[in-house]
Amino acid sequence: MYTMDFIRGEYRSGVVWLSAFCGLLLLLTGCGGSLPNTDQGVRDQILLLGNGAEPKSLDPHIATGVTENKIISALTEGLVAHHPSDDNAVEPGVAERWEHNEDYSVWTFFLNPRARWSNGDTVTAHDFVFSFQRMLSPALAAEYGQMLFIMKNAQEFHSGTVSDFADVGAKALDDHTLQLTLVGPTPFFLSMLMHYSWFPVHPPTIEQHGGMTDRDGRWTLPGNHVGNGPFMLAEWRPNQFIKVVPNPYYWDRDVVRLNAIYYMVISDANTERRMFDSGRLHVTNTLPSNDINWFRNNRPEVLRISPYLGTYFYRFNVTRAPLNDVRVRQALSKAIDRELLVEAVVQGGQQPAFGYVPPGFNDYETPHLVEFNPEEARRLLAEAGFPNGRGFPRKTILFNTLEDHRKIAEAIAAMWREHLNIQVDMENKEWKVYLDAQTNLQYDIARAGWIGDYMDPITFLEMWTTGNGNNNTGWSNADYDRIIAEAFRSHSPETHFGKLLEAETILLTEMPITPLYWYNNIRLIDPRVRGWYNKLLDNRPWKHVYLAD
């Protein structure tokens, strides 16, 4: 769904870890403003949730990560909403019903007249039109702006060839009727709308705090924030937690059972595990790989491992030599033993990736083009001018701070040393700095992950088009761009999936990335958490989650 930090935490020595853990305990148990423990949380319907790193932004038009998505989806609601247990089903959101023309290219949404912002204002079709214009404005530089290119003239408005937003396929027919005209047939459009790039923002609040294209984000602070979701922002303590409470104006407020959610900022997976053990978390964001087998054998009732529609991969910065040589990229990819990586290092039942698009989509299978072939890797590297690794410049693997990311990088560095006789360094950066480094191409090789935004494989492939805000490799291929555009405009599923197979074949041949494995979701969950279902996309409608003995 996003460029993101899927397994978040920090590598710590014992002394540094102890200091971090003690600091968190002081926050949780200290005088004045102490947080409840899990037993108190069950009694008072307060969910304590490990959420990884400090979120980059709570602005749905600026955010790009899973950390942010979990909070934004509580504070803001789009036209449609996630089903609590079925990734392929769609629930009413702000729109209480919808209809489309025969070829799925024109959609009309009828908004619920009871939908309200958290300040009591009515949510209108005009709010959505304003929000789409904001998302597509070049000055905002929204990384997910391309998500809206499916609308007629949206890409042209973003590029400046269309100057009047009235020419874009987003029309408020009246206060409660929104019509969206697309570039072509899009049967999976409702699934796309569940992504937060399509969520509305409150126009008066945006205008009051900097205007439509301001990226400062002050409107997202407590006291300023106005949302339309089941919860509203109550408190944000940087690097500690974000607290949300029920929105009294939410149209479906009678369904909401939680009285608060604390999204705990915990950057160390070991600290998170110990907080769960000590009754300070109901749900963890992840689990250190070294602890998985212990919980399997000793506390299986709290261990939750489920398929996750995502891929863990490495990006190559193709603007830097010798990574600008496809033979070098292919050699590096073919020198990685992915089966050994998942069995000996990752240890969570993940599948080695033989392609980029993960399993889970009906009617699509990724091509088997990623392989471990060290002999071919050495031949390609020699052909590129580095026989037995001689003369290969020392490169660096960038990863966001987490022990498991470090372990994976160390294992891959060892494989490259063994099979290609090359040396690489490692560099870890805090989440926001790590994201900025990729955006600005200030890296050689970078770990990355991607979770599907919606239930169609194009969500994994569109991001590698030229200029896409999530590409971040410097790679561009005109044929690839054309094929993706044709896939969006396809009139039949067979043509659509055929085009996507063509595109993925180009991607895995050119190798601006190398897939490593397909994700599982691995976390600890208190059995008293209810309404939490295993889902491929792991998107959680928080109004259906509650606590019970």
Q: What is the pLDDT of residues 86-112, one digit of tens each?
A: 988 999 999 999 999 999 999 999 999
| Mean predicted confidence (pLDDT) in 71-85 | 97
Confidence of residue 200 (pLDDT cuts 50, 70, 90): very high
Q: Is the peptide bond before 352 cis (omega within 30 degrees of 0)?
A: no
Which segments of the chain belong to CATH 3.90.76.10? 77-207
Maximal CA-CA distance, the chain = 69
- Looking at residues 155-175, what average pLDDT do you find? 97
pLDDT for residue 44 is more than 90: yes
- Assign residue 53 a region: left if phi > 0, alpha if psi is -120 to 50, beta otherwise? beta
The mean of the pLDDT values for the chain is 92
CA distance 195 to 463: 14
Tell me the pLDDT band of 9, cut-offs 50, 70 and 90: very low
Q: What is the mean pLDDT of residues 223-238?
A: 97
- Residue 87 CA to residue 77 CA, distance in Å, equals 17
- DSSP symbol at 255: G
List Cα–Cα distances, 299 to 302, 348, 349, 530, in angstroms: 6, 16, 17, 18
The predicted-structure confidence for 442-472, as pLDDT tens digits, reads as follows: 999 999 999 998 889 999 999 999 989 899 9
pLDDT digits (tens, 9 = 90+) for 16-34: 334 344 444 444 544 335 8
Question: Tokens 């998505």 label which residue?
Answer: 69
What region, left, alpha or beta, does residue 325 occupy, with left being phi > 0 and alpha being psi -120 to 50 degrees? Answer: beta
- Token couple for 545: 């989650």
Query: Using an 8 Å Cβ cutoff, are 17 and 271 in contact?
Result: yes
In the block, tokens 């993960």 appear at: 358
Question: pLDDT tens for residues 361-410?
Answer: 988 999 999 999 999 999 999 999 999 999 999 999 999 988 889 999 99
Architecture of domain 308-521: Roll (3.10)
pLDDT in tens, 299-325: 999 999 999 999 999 999 999 999 999
End-to-end Cα distance, the chain: 33
293 has pLDDT over 80:
yes
| Confidence (pLDDT) at 453 | 86
Kindly state which CATH superfamily the domain 1-73+229-302+525-549 is placed in.
Periplasmic binding protein-like II (3.40.190.10)
pLDDT tens figures, 327-368:
999 999 999 999 999 999 998 889 999 999 999 898 899 999
Q: Across residues 410-431, what is the average pLDDT?
A: 96
pLDDT at residue 326 tops 50: yes
Specify the domain boundaries for CATH 3.10.105.10 within the chain. Answer: 308-521
- Judged against a pLDDT cut of 70, whether residue 291 lies above it is answered with yes
CATH 3.40.190.10 segments of the chain: 1-73+229-302+525-549
- CA-based nearest residue to 231, from 62, 83, 76, 127: 76
Amino acid at 157: F
Q: Report which of 442, 475, 461 is spatially closest to residue 324, judged by C-alpha positions.
A: 475
Compute the distance between CA of residue 432 and CA of residue 126 in angstroms, rounded to an integer: 33
What CA–CA distances, in Å, run from 190 to 82, 95, 97? 10, 11, 12
Q: What is the pLDDT of residue 549?
A: 87
CATH number of 77-207, picked from 3.90.76.10, 2.170.150.20, 3.30.470.20, 3.30.750.24: 3.90.76.10
pLDDT of the residue at 33 = 55
Cβ 480 vs Cβ 507: under 8 Å: yes
Token pair listed for 369:
């083009």
